Each structure stands twice: as structure tokens, then as C-alpha cells.
Amino acid sequence: MSDPTRIKELIVTPIAFRDPPLLNSNGVHEPLALRIILQLVLEDGTVGLGESPGGVARLERLEAAAKVVAGMDVFDTTAVGAAIDAALLPTVPSSHERGWTTSAVEVACLDAQGKLLGRPVSDLLGGTVRDSVPFAAYLFYKWAEHPALDGRAAVGDDWGAALDPAGIVEQARLMQERYGFRSFKLKGGVFPPDEEIAAIKALAEAFPGQPLRLDPNTAWTVETSRYVARELDGVLEYLEDPTKGIEGMAAVAKDAPMPLGTNMCVIAWEHLRPAIEQNAIQVLLTDHHYWGGLRRTRELAAVCEAFGLALSMHSNSHLGISLAAMTHVAAAIPNLDHSCDTHYPWNSADDVVLPGVLEFRDGEVKVPTGPGLGVELDHEALDRLHRLYLDSGVRSRDDTGYMRRFQPDYELRLPRW
């Protein structure tokens, strides 16, 4: 007799979706971003959903995971994670890299468990401590459009250009008008530091008292980081990854007047001890996509609490399955100290979940109350975006290569200033 909680198969579907020309310290986002959608099918027909960042390596690892998990019990998430980890270990030495795969499968298992039990995923994480989760507007310097290229016409969007302080303030106003965000993160590392300092000061003037963060993704030396930190004393709630590595961050933290945050130098369990010993960071941006899933993220929150680290949340270009998972785990973490990052407003037009559940009101998303993640797959959208993936030929993210198509002498230099 078949066991209803047994995993029958894991269906792994790579997709591509539209992304605006957002600038960062590596270059500029390409017209298409990649994700991978997971459907974990149980013997009884229940389907659990998961979402992972895209790219060929991640796709191959998820396909390897699919072979390992078939036949396992969906409630045995520790064993499922361990089996995937063991299968990947010989070819993927980095625990951080293996974490991307185990995390995506864990979310799909939890969605299926919740559906079987008729309970939301947040209940499986211990219940909610908040009914809705605050998110920050994620501001980017950006071009007005993807320029015409290789016979393709230019592709515009309804955000317009943002290439100076006035453009950033205007983008923040739009973000607030459309989604009600009450805090703002600026992706920096694009223009010389003084220009980015001016943009943050313009935001502080336009939105008095509203929390602000700046994240140049290690575009600055220790000296430059110290200078920016001094200039923005009293203006930022935290400064994110100004410079590279735990040692570099520790050197900046020594005299920075604000806390330092990271989603770059502490990305695996083995990084916590040296970072804490050196007081390199004061805010950890967690991300369930690589910390081992939703349960491990909750455990990470407890570690942060024990060592006095504040907690925030990182995001990458993502769609609704990830947003639902982020919302459930954020709702279950008592010590979430800052609003979470989300790229969702930049990509939500191409979502793979049916509309109606995930909406931003006053910058917050209500925790879905339906079984599992509480979102439903839009099969038509999944097919369309999978076809787009197949037809596009895009197989990995290359912000630098894309920038070079327009500025052939563009160099990836970190630190740049």
C-alpha cells in the first residue's frame, strides 16, 4: 500500500522573468532574471512548492536532489536535508553552496506538510509573533530602459531612471505610494561615495525619521568605508557590507558610529564564530535560501539573540513562493529587528503564484493563513516563463558582462573606491 506522506517525485522547472536595468557594484541586471520552481509531489498527490535562485549549477544540484528525495517521508526534513547534503558533498565542497539546494527542498517539504495538516507553514515554525511582516523599499540606481541591443528594441518600465539623488528620492516616493513602505534601502557601490552619501542625505530630508540603509556590496576600501560611516553618522540605521571580509568589516566597525550589517561575509555557520569574536558585524541579514531553510533560519535567529546580533533579512530577485516563505519565517521570529529586504516590486508582474494573497499594505505583507505557504501555483505562468527560459538561452546571471555590452571598458573592481 502506498504511503501518503512519501515523496513521489520532485519536479524542477527553471524559469526566466523580466527584470529592470538595476545597477549595482557588479554592473547591471540583465533583461531576464532566473529562478527555479520546485514541485514536490507526494504519493497522495499533495504538492509542496519551493523557489530557488537560478543558474545551471543550481539546476543540476536540484536535479541531483530530486533523485535522492524520491521515496523519503516528507515529515523527515532533517533526513531529507542530510541525504541531499551527502549526495552533493563530493562535488560541492562549500556548505554555503549546498545550502541553496537543501533550503529550497525544505521549503517545499514544509509547504506539503502544511497542506497535509491544513495548517500554515508559520504554525510549523512555532506559530506567529506578528500577523504581518514589514518590508523595506529596495531602491536602486537604474537606467530608464534596457537599451536596444542585437536587434532587440529598448525595453522601458514604469519606474523611470534614477541616476542622482533627485531620481532616488522620486523612486522612493513611488515605492511609498505603490506599496506604503516606511523604510528604505539604497543599493550603492555604483557611483563615487560622495554621490551616494548625497542620495542618502536627500532621502533623510524627504522622509524624516524613516529608517535608511546603504549597501555598496563591498565596493569600498576600509578607509573609504570609515569616511562614509562618519559622513552618515545619525542618518543610517545600519551600513551594509561596505567592505570585504570579516577582517575588513571588523576594522570598519571599530569606529563606525552605526551598526554594520552583512549578507556577504557571514553566509554559513562556520562564519559566525570569527565574526562575533571580532565584532565585525552587529546586524545579520539572514536568508532562508542559503541558511538551510526556514527551520534553520529560526535557529539562526536564536544564535543571533544569544550573541546580541540584530536580525534583518536579505533578498535577491525573487517571486511569490519565496516571498511567502520569507513572510512565514519572519512572522515566526521574535527578534526580527529590522524590516526585511525584498526585490518583489521589481519582479512581481511575472509572478508564478495566483494573485490575491501576497499584497503590500503600509509596507507590510499579511502572513498567509491558508494551508502550507498559502499560495497557489499559476500553471499557465509557470509554462510561459519556462518557455521564456528555454527560448532566451540565458543560463546564468552576468551583471558585469551585460554592462560591458554598453561600456566595453567596464571593469569589475572590488573595492572600486
Instruction: Give me the residues that bind ligand GLR (CB under 6 A), please.
Output: 22, 24, 187, 215, 217, 263, 314-317, 341
Q: Smallest distance, Å, CB 187 to ligand GLR?
A: 5
| Residue 221 or 263 having the CB closest to ligand GLR | 263
Phi and psi at residue 319, in whole multiples of 5°? -120, -165
Told to check if 215 binds Mg ion by CB under 5 A, we report yes
Number of Cβ atoms within 10 Å of the Cβ of 71: 11
Told to check if 263 binds Mg ion by CB under 5 A, we report yes
Q: How far apart are CA 265 and CA 261, in angstroms?
A: 9
Q: Smallest distance, Å, CB 80 to Mg ion?
A: 29
| Residue 30 or 364 having the CB closest to ligand GLR | 30
**Residue 187: contacted member of Mg ion, ligand GLR, none (CB under 5 to 8 Å, by partner type):** ligand GLR
**Residue 24: contacted member of ligand GLR, Mg ion, none (CB under 5 to 8 Å, by partner type):** ligand GLR
Q: Among the candidate windows 97-105, 168-176, 232-240, 323-331, which touches Mg ion by CB under 5 A?
A: 232-240
Give the angle 35-356-296 at the CA atoms, nearest 5°: 50
- For CA atoms 244, 247, 249, 252, the dihedral sign is negative
Tell me whether residue 60 is exposed, middle or buried, using C-beta atoms within 10 angstroms of its C-beta: 0 to 12, 13 to 18, 19 or more.
Answer: middle
**Residue 286: contacted member of Mg ion, ligand GLR, none (CB under 5 to 8 Å, by partner type):** none
**Residue of 8, 187, 289, 318 with catalytic role:** 187
**Residue 19: contacted member of ligand GLR, Mg ion, none (CB under 5 to 8 Å, by partner type):** none
Q: How far apart are CA 127 and CA 94, in angstroms?
A: 32
Is the bond preceding residue 415 a cis peptide, omega within 30 degrees? Answer: yes
**Residue of 29, 244, 314, 338 with catalytic role:** 314
Which residue, chain included where needed, has cell 532621502? 203
Tell me the three cell numbers of residue 136. Answer: 523595506
Q: How far apart are CA 112 and CA 256, in angstroms?
A: 45
Q: Smallest distance, Å, CB 173 to ligand GLR?
A: 21
Active site residue 366: no
| Residue 111 or 215 having the CB closest to ligand GLR | 215
- The DSSP result for 208-251, as a single string, is TT--EEEE-TT-S-HHHHHHHHHHTTTT-SEEE--SSHHHHHHH
**Residue 22: contacted member of Mg ion, ligand GLR, none (CB under 5 to 8 Å, by partner type):** ligand GLR
Active site residue 314: yes
DSSP H or E stretch at residue 296: helix 294-306
Q: Among the candidate windows 46-54, 154-162, 219-227, 235-243, which touches Mg ion by CB under 5 A?
A: 235-243
Q: Among the candidate windows 66-74, 190-198, 203-211, 240-248, which touches Mg ion by CB under 5 A?
A: 240-248
Q: Order of strands, edge to edge, in the sheet holding 360-361?
A: 132-134, 364-366, 360-361
Q: How many residues bind Mg ion (CB under 5 A)?
A: 3
| Residue 68 or 267 having the CB closest to ligand GLR | 267
Tell me the three cell numbers of residue 56. Answer: 545551471
| Residue 80 or 172 having the CB closest to ligand GLR | 172
| Residue 224 or 263 having the CB closest to Mg ion | 263
Q: How far apart are CA 174 and CA 57, in angstroms?
A: 36
Told to check if 287 binds Mg ion by CB under 5 A, we report no
Q: Smallest distance, Å, CB 138 to ligand GLR?
A: 7
Contacts to Mg ion by CB under 5 A: 215, 240, 263
Active site residues: 187, 314
